Amino acid sequence: MEKEEEKELEQKLRESGVGHTVIQKLKAQGLLSMRGLRFIVALTSDELVDFLALGSYETASRLQENAKKIIGYDDRVLTAGQLLQIIEQEQPKLTTGVKGLDALLGGGLYPVEIYEFAGEYGTGKTQICHQLSVTAQLPEEKGGLNASVVYIDAEGTFSPQRIASIAKRFNVEGALERIYVYRPLNTGELERFVKFTLNTYLDQGARLVVVDSIIVLYRAQFRGIEWLARRQQAINYVLDWLKRWARLYSAVIAITNQVLTHPLPSGIALKLPAGGNIIAHASTHRFLMKKAGDTWLMEVLDSPRLAKGATAEFTIKDDGIWDA
């Protein structure tokens, strides 16, 4: 099948004017496939010229335009009405499995958007990621994506046992076999995985990507104020690649974040998400997770469509997150 796909794509590229030398370079990099062409489309022109050692930006542009046609990537200008129809009617929304949280989210998590869950230790960030990893496998009529999941476990807190308990509650069979867990050792491994490997699983049907957490490796391995600018650039690059894959595959992206204590002159200490403006600008929706006595709260910090300061209450049990 792979050889047949390669021959078919080679023929299409030749017919569209892509030269023999460029096609051979695609073959040498293992990119003469639908997955490979999506990678080509995801690259910027500068990245593509460097990656394939192309002779000109014109060659890179021609290759990308033809790759877009072959994979069916739609980059046409839409009216706001057309975009609304796609968002509200044509794309499934992912349920959290908790009515209160779904209501706060406007029906669930939308594809092509990045959801940031920030909070202190024990506020439910990892718990919601575990639950989403199960509900994503539900059929669309039950609020799922009928899809597998990629879980990037940078914190080392992923629990197969917890997944099994949640899956039993939602009657999802074989849930553990549809969650692909990657544990990066350092920021370099994280970046290489997101850029070069993540789309392999997306190509095989994954539609939820979890990064738990986005900041932990960077805070530990970029030490000192002199590393701050480089750290922020590196985080921004990873988040940008997550955005690119979300667009190309209509995937939901969920990231967790740690918090910093910000003291005020009044003596009150605010808990703010780490990562500064880089993560703030990259995230479509930002939520602060809090412990509130015997229950937990999720508060909207920032969102283009959700009310700032709105909250939803939930509780955590052995089999996941429930309405409080």
pLDDT tens digit at each of 324 positions of the chain:
678 888 899 899 998 888 899 999 999 999 999 999 999 999 999 999 999 999 889 999 999 999 999 999 888 898 999 888 888 777 889 999 999 999 999 999 999 999 999 999 999 999 999 999 999 999 999 999 999 999 999 999 999 999 999 999 999 999 999 999 999 999 999 999 999 999 999 999 999 999 999 999 998 888 877 778 888 999 999 999 999 999 999 999 999 999 988 766 766 767 889 888 999 999 999 999 999 889 999 999 999 999 999 999 999 999 999 999
Do 135 and 240 fall within a single domain? yes
Last residue of a domain, one of 39, 71, 103: 71
Do 159 and 219 fall within a single domain? yes
Q: How many domains, the chain? A: 2
Do 94 and 236 fall within a single domain? yes
Last residue of a domain, one of 41, 71, 101: 71
How many C-alpha atoms does 252 have within 13 Å on its Cβ side? 30
- pTM higher than the cut 0.85: yes
Last residue of a domain, one of 46, 71, 96: 71
